[in-house]
Structure 1
Amino acid sequence: MYKKILVATDGSELAGKGEDQALALAKELNAKLIFVSVTELLPSYGIVVAAEWASSPVAFQEYSEAVAKAANELLAKAKAKADAAGVEAETLHVENQSPAQGIVKAAQEKGCDLIVIASHGRRGVNKLLLGSQAAEVLSYSTVPVLVVK
Structure 2
Amino acid sequence: MANKNILVPIDGSESAFAALKQATVLANSLESKLTIISIVEENPFVNADFYYFGADAQTMKAYFDEACLNAKHALTEAEKICANQSVSEFETKIIKAEVSAKNIVKVAEELDVSLIIMGSHGRKGIQKLTLGSVAEEVLKFSPLPVLIVKQ
- Range of TM-score over shorter length: 0.7 to 0.9
Q: Return the alpha-carbon distance in structure 2 between the equivalents of residues 77 and 123 of structure 1.
A: 28
1:143 corresponds to which residue?
144
Distance 1:126 1:85, change over 3 A: same
Q: Report the alpha carbon displacement of residue 70 of structure 1 after superposing the two structures with TM.
A: 1.1
Paired positions, count: 146
Structure 2 matches for 1:1-149, cutoff 5 A?
Answer: 1=1, 3-40=4-41, 41-42=43-44, 47-49=50-52, 51-53=53-55, 56-87=56-87, 88-149=89-150
Q: Report the alpha carbon displacement of residue 96 of structure 1 after superposing the two structures with TM.
A: 2.9
CA displacement, residues 35-64 of structure 1 (integer Å, 9 cap, x when unaligned): 111233216989453x423xx322221221
Identity %: 38
Q: CA RMSD in A?
A: 2.2
Instruction: Tell me the TM-score normalised to structure 2 length.
Output: 0.85
Q: Which runs of 5+ in 1 are unaligned?
A: none
Higher fraction of helix: 1
Q: Report the alpha carbon displacement of residue 105 of structure 1 after superposing the two structures with TM.
A: 1.4
Q: Which runs of 5+ in 2 are unaligned?
A: none
SS in 1 for 2:122: coil
Q: Report the alpha carbon displacement of residue 77 of structure 1 after superposing the two structures with TM.
A: 1.1
**Which residue type is aligned with residue 34 of structure 1?**
T
Q: Report the alpha carbon displacement of residue 97 of structure 1 after superposing the two structures with TM.
A: 1.0
Instruction: Tell me the TM-score normalised to structure 1 length.
Output: 0.86
